[in-house]
Amino acid sequence: MYGDRFGGRRFEAPVKVGERYKVKIESIGQGGDGIARIKGFVVFVPNTKVGDEVEIVINSVKRKFAFAEVI
């Protein structure tokens, strides 16, 4: 787990807003966004499909996942 609000160990997400990555879309989420993983951390990438290899930029980071867009 990347965060624990009850005083346990707290881990920072392995990605930051503005960082760029080359990723492969592994699956599709319930909302239809592609899902990639960076060091096991889930990143949602809209307008992609399974098997796509894309370059992304992170635009929002939450406790357990991030959102990115294709560049």
DSSP string, 1-34: ----TTSS-----S--TT-EEEEE--EE-TTS-E
Alpha carbons 36 and 45: distance in angstroms, whole number = 7
65: CATH: 2.40.50.140
Confidence of residue 12 (pLDDT cuts 50, 70, 90): confident
Give the per-residue pLDDT at 8.
Answer: 57
Place 5 in a pLDDT band, splitting at 50, 70 and 90: low
Lowest mean pLDDT among 1-5, 7-11, 62-66: 1-5
Question: Is residue 9, in this structure, part of any structural domain at all?
Answer: no
CA atoms within 13 A on the CB side of 12: 4
CA pair distance 19, 41, nearest whole angstrom: 14
Count of CB atoms situated within 10 Å of the CB of 26: 13
- 0.95 exceeded by the pTM? no
pLDDT digits (tens, 9 = 90+) for 16-46: 999 999 999 999 999 999 999 999 999 999 9
Domains: count for the chain: 1
